[in-house]
Amino acid sequence: MLNERLIFVTNDDGYQSKGFRAMVNLAREFGRVVAIAPERVQSGMSQAITITQPLFLRSVERGDDYEIYAFSGTPVDCSKVAFDHVFLGRKVDLVLSGINHGSNAAVNVMYSGTMGAAIEGSFYNIPAIGLSLDDHDADADFEGAVMYGRKIVTAVLDAADRLPRPLCLNVNVPRCKAEEIQGIRLSRQTRGFWREEFYERTDPHGRGYFWLTGAFQNAEPDAEDTDEWALAHRYVSVVPVQTDMTDYKQLKALDGVL
């Protein structure tokens, strides 16, 4: 097709996850799809990159309008090999990462491999959307995520030329039936942090081990402009993401101290 769109799809749950398949099928409604996802589950891999090991790229499946590859690296490695190797010289219209099994609202944006890959995609000046469902179940129901994902992709593609770059959206969908979703809310990242409780046990060889588990501490549960508030009230939250980590207020406070 003339002027057919080219869409890059990736995720952090690996190429075999149900959410990834849902995203590939959603993307195919909008153009030709090249999907490169991790070989194995890479949840919580953040913006991690693989420096000290070789990486292997493997063709998994292809059809008339899509190609799926598995890559042995992190989600960000997937974005990097896509843009700095596979797509070299080709115009890409959109990056879609997910659909993630689990919310990436609030500070989760920093730990999320899904959002790591989306952010990396936006560095190449391509609009990027990370899409996550607030449900960790391997067999989660993605109907609402697909329905609202479709609305958001349509709106972003329509407006892409007049929106500033980089453009990277962290989209989170509540866990409920599609028809129970209240709509879309532009939000900001909720303040708050995870406090962990290390599950501590002994392995069959007598060695003690730890297993990470914890709970998110919301520092502003009543703030209606936050992504956690939106999710708790069955809205789809959309937080645009930027990557200047400079703390400008602290910069002023430090003047004279250093």
Q: How far is the CB of 77 from a second copy (least distance, A)?
A: 7
Give, in degrees to the nearest 5, the angle at Cα 210 between 208 and 214: 155
Residue of the chain from 210, 221, 224, 233 that contacts a second copy (CB under 8 A): 210
Beta-carbon-side half-sphere exposure of residue 126 (alpha carbons within 13 Å): 28
215 touching a second copy, by CB under 8 A: no
Residue of the chain from 22, 27, 81, 145 that contacts a second copy (CB under 8 A): 81
Residue of the chain from 29, 61, 196, 224 that contacts a second copy (CB under 8 A): 196
State how far the Cα of 251 lies from the Cα of 184, in Å rounded to an integer: 35
Nearer to a second copy, 179 or 203 (CB): 203
Peptide bond into 240 cis (omega under 30): no
**Whether the Cβ atoms of residue 134 and residue 106 lie closer than 8 Å to each other:** no
123 touching a second copy, by CB under 8 A: yes
Binders of a second copy: how many residues, by CB under 8 A? Answer: 81
249 touching a second copy, by CB under 8 A: yes
Q: Is 249 exposed, middle or buried (0-12, 13-18, 19+ CB in 10 A)?
A: exposed
Stretch that binds a second copy, among 1-9, 26-34, 137-145, 233-241 (CB under 8 A): 233-241
Contact set for a second copy, span 18-47 (CB under 8 A):
41, 43-47
Residue of the chain from 4, 29, 56, 180 that contacts a second copy (CB under 8 A): 56
206 touching a second copy, by CB under 8 A: no
Nearer to a second copy, 91 or 195 (CB): 195
State how far the Cα of 106 lies from the Cα of 195, in Å rounded to an integer: 14
The conformation of residue 176, written as its DSSP 8-state character, comes to S
Contact set for a second copy, span 85-114 (CB under 8 A):
85, 107, 109-111, 113
Residue of the chain from 29, 177, 180, 214 that contacts a second copy (CB under 8 A): 214
258 touching a second copy, by CB under 8 A: yes
Residue of the chain from 6, 48, 60, 223 that contacts a second copy (CB under 8 A): 48
Nearer to a second copy, 133 or 167 (CB): 167
Beta-carbon-side half-sphere exposure of residue 158 (alpha carbons within 13 Å): 6
147 touching a second copy, by CB under 8 A: no
168 touching a second copy, by CB under 8 A: yes
Ramachandran class of 102: left when φ > 0, alpha when ψ lies in -120 to 50, beta otherwise: left
Per-residue CA distances from 12 to 61, 84, 165, 178, 252 (Å): 18, 19, 24, 24, 38
Backbone dihedral angles phi then psi of residue 71, each to the nearest 5 degrees: -125, 140
